[in-house]
Amino acid sequence: GQNIDQPTEMTATEGAIVQINCTYQTSGFNGLFWYQQHAGEAPTFLSYNVLDGLEEKGRFSSFLSRSKGYSYLLLKELQMKDSASYLCAVSDSNYQLIWGAGTKLIIKP
Amino acid sequence: IAGITQAPTSQILAAGRRMTLRCTQDMRHNAMYWYRQDLGLGLRLIHYSNTAGTTGKGEVPDGYSVSRANTDDFPLTLASAVPSQTSVYFCASSDSGSGGGEQFFGPGTRLTVL
């Protein structure tokens, strides 16, 4: 079967750094996406990795290891507005996205 | 219109009623998708369309149907609603159905079936 695992909830302090992990087992791999979803809103795109390594985009970075079936999203200099759910999704052999349940990130002052 | 819109925003529906959720995008994207999102679960694909005139079944298609008569519109129909279809429904689109394409989401429809 296909499976995406990520922690249900994490808590971090404003100004700190947090790493959200995602492991996956899918039939085929055509890239991994991270999305941000604020409560009551639609998901919005953060990053896309298809090759191994780190992709940096401002305060957010995403890492991929295809051999390990592993990715993480790194958020630096946390702000209160970063409180949201972070969704990991893998594009499978049919180019359909398989989604994790999301990690709810709580930022404390 | 800017991006992707959905209607209605929310709806309470009696079981057994027919309901169509509307989705329209103005980005000329080829691919469109319908997902449902339930607490504690990831987004689950209901149906998709890689291009106008074609549709396909996703992970949870039973009880739902779609059509794609043109590029912009992708309505989702519940023929006879049941309480287990209570969920938040998101429509999304992407430039290509073949991987690598960021999906853009509509604001969602919150549906309650009683």
Q: What are phi and psi of A75, to 5 degrees?
A: -115, 120
Place of tokens 């922690």: A7
Chain A: give the shortest CA distance to residue B91, in Å: 10
- Closest to A101 measured CA to CA, from A20, A4, A26, A12: A4
Chain A: give the shortest CA distance to residue B96, in Å: 10
Interface test with A, best of B102, B109, B110 (most A CBs within 10 A): B102
Distance, in Å, from the CA atom of B84 to the CA atom of B114, rounded to the nearest integer, reads 9
Confidence at residue A93, expressed as pLDDT on a 0 to 100 scale: 87
**Cβ atoms of residues B2 and B26 within 8 Å:** yes
Distances (CA, A) of A103 to A11, A14, A34, A47, B6: 10, 17, 11, 16, 25
Q: In chain B, which stretches have pLDDT less than 50?
A: none
- Closest to A43 measured CA to CA, from B104, B70, B4: B104
pLDDT digits (tens, 9 = 90+) for A22-43: 999 998 999 999 999 999 999 9
CA dihedral sign, ordered A38, A32, B71, B38: negative
**A21, two tokens:** 């992990």
Average pLDDT over residues A49-67: 96
Confidence at residue B100, expressed as pLDDT on a 0 to 100 scale: 55
For residue A51, list its beta bridge partners.
none
- Closest to B100 measured CA to CA, from A2, A72, A10, A90: A90
Find chain B residues with C-beta within 8 A of A42's C-beta: 90, 105-108
Find chain A residues with C-beta within 8 A of B35's C-beta: 99
Distance, in Å, from the CA atom of B39 to the CA atom of B80, rounded to the nearest integer, reads 23
- Closest to A70 measured CA to CA, from A25, A101, A7, A17: A25
**Cβ atoms of residues B49 and B70 within 8 Å:** no
How would residue A2 be classed by pLDDT, with cut points 50, 70 and 90? confident
Query: Do A31 and B40 make contact, defined as CB atoms within 8 angstroms?
Result: no
Confidence at residue B98, expressed as pLDDT on a 0 to 100 scale: 55
Distance, in Å, from the CA atom of A100 to the CA atom of A7, rounded to the nearest integer, reads 10
Chain B CA closest to residue A93: B99
pLDDT digits (tens, 9 = 90+) for A60-99: 999 999 999 999 999 999 999 999 999 999 998 888 899 9
